[in-house]
Amino acid sequence: MKATFNKKEKLKSKKELDALFSEGKSISKYPIRLVYRRSSFEENVKIKTGVSVSKRNFKKAVERNRIKRLLRESYRKNKYIVANTTHQFTFMFLYSGKEMPEYSLTESKIKGILQKFVKQEIEPK
């Protein structure tokens, strides 16, 4: 599959986000945490994904933008790991660290999280 990340794959609905944070499960590999939830939506994609950085830890918009870009890029490059799910999911990646990360760090952490997700949710069924 192509390593794209377009509008349809982004998590935008307020409703979905509220449901995700109140009912979702999470996988954590510091400094990145994934919150996910089984869901269903109209668009023809398997997973809708969002990213988030706390304003408390990063006061400047430039830094938050940079981290969100790194998270999106890491997910985009590695989303083939979770491509063959049977259900639809919503994802939210949270960056909880306090230092500006390198790309190699975020990529390896997200890879690990996605592999763990596959083990927990897909393989047993």
Partner RNA sequence: UCACCUUAUCGCCGUGUGUUGAACUUGUUUCAGCGUCUUUUUCUUUUUUAGCUGAAAAGUUAAAUCAAAAAAGAUCCCAAAUCAAAGUUUGGGGCAAGGAGGAAAGUCCGGACACCAUAGCACAGUAUAGCGGGUAACACCCGUCAUCCACUUUUGGUGGAUAGGACCAGUGCAACAGAAAGAAUGUACAGGUAAUGCUGUAGUGAAAUCAGGUAAACUCUAUGCGGUGCAACGCCACGUAAACCAGCUUUUGAGGGUUGUGCGCCCAAUGUUGGAGGGUAGGCGGUUUGAUCCCGAUAGUAAUAUCGCGACUAGAUAGAUGAUAAGGACAUUCGUUUCGACGAGGAAACAGAAUCCGGCUUAUGAUCUG
- Interface residue list for RNA (CB under 7 A): 2-7, 10-15, 17, 50-52, 60-62, 65-66, 68-70, 72-73, 76-77, 92, 102-103
Residue 101 Cβ, how far from RNA at the closest point, in Å? Answer: 9
Residue 20 Cβ, how far from RNA at the closest point, in Å? Answer: 9
Closest to RNA by CB, 11 vs 118, is 11
Q: Are 90 and 37 in contact (CB under 8 A)?
A: yes
Supply φ then ψ for residue 50, to 5 degrees: -130, 165
H or E stretch at 52: strand 47-53
Of 18, 2, 23, 84, nearest in space to 50 by CA: 18
Closest to RNA by CB, 6 vs 86, is 6
